[in-house]
């Protein structure tokens, strides 16, 4: 017999599965919309469903000098963690892993 908590767990797992499906579908739809807007050379599309806007994002690449500084900073952070000088805050959350589907 399922307890109330079993129902909550079961519903959560089903929600996660459905969310994953929707996110995969949304990713495909997003790409189709983007491709269409780029093809017709439009930055925005005002529709009865909402406004769709093509956005550009910069991805930076740094010189070796900066990369080395970043690596040094990572090393220094690790040292401070090990020495107990760095401080931290623990946040409590929930991770869910669905059982693997049998094929």
Which 3 state secondary structure label does DSSP give 56?
A: coil
What's phi and psi for 52, nearest 5 deg? -110, 130
Tens of pLDDT, residues 78-100:
999 999 999 999 999 988 888 88
Domains: count for the chain: 1
Is residue 99, in this structure, part of any structural domain at all? no
Is residue 97, in this structure, part of any structural domain at all? no
Is residue 47, in this structure, part of any structural domain at all? yes
Is residue 78, in this structure, part of any structural domain at all? yes
Determine the pLDDT at residue 98.
85
Is residue 72, in this structure, part of any structural domain at all? yes
Is residue 70, in this structure, part of any structural domain at all? yes
Residues 52 and 40: their CA atoms lie apart, in Å, by 14
| DSSP label at residue 98 | P
Tens of pLDDT, residues 36-66:
999 999 999 999 999 999 999 999 999 999 9
Is residue 39, in this structure, part of any structural domain at all? yes
**What pLDDT band is residue 19 in, cutting at 50, 70 and 90?**
very high
Determine the pLDDT at residue 102.
79
Q: Which domain holds residue 65?
A: 4-83
Is residue 98, in this structure, part of any structural domain at all? no
Residues whose CB falls within 8 Å of the CB of residue 13, separated by 6 or more in sequence, listed in order:
96, 98
The pTM of the full predicted model, rounded to 2 decimals, is 0.69
């Amino acid at each position: 017999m399922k307890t109330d908590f079993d129902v909550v767990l079961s519903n959560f797992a089903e929600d996660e599965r459905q969310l994953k499906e929707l996110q995969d579908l949304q990713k495909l739809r997003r790409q189709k919309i983007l491709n269409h807007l780029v093809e017709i050379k439009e930055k925005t599309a005002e529709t009865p469903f909402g406004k769709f806007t093509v956005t550009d994002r910069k991805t930076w690449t740094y010189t070796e000098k900066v990369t080395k500084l970043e690596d040094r900073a990572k090393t220094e952070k690790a040292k401070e963690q090990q020495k107990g000088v760095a401080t931290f805050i623990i946040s409590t959350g929930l991770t869910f892993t669905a059982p693997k589907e049998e094929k």
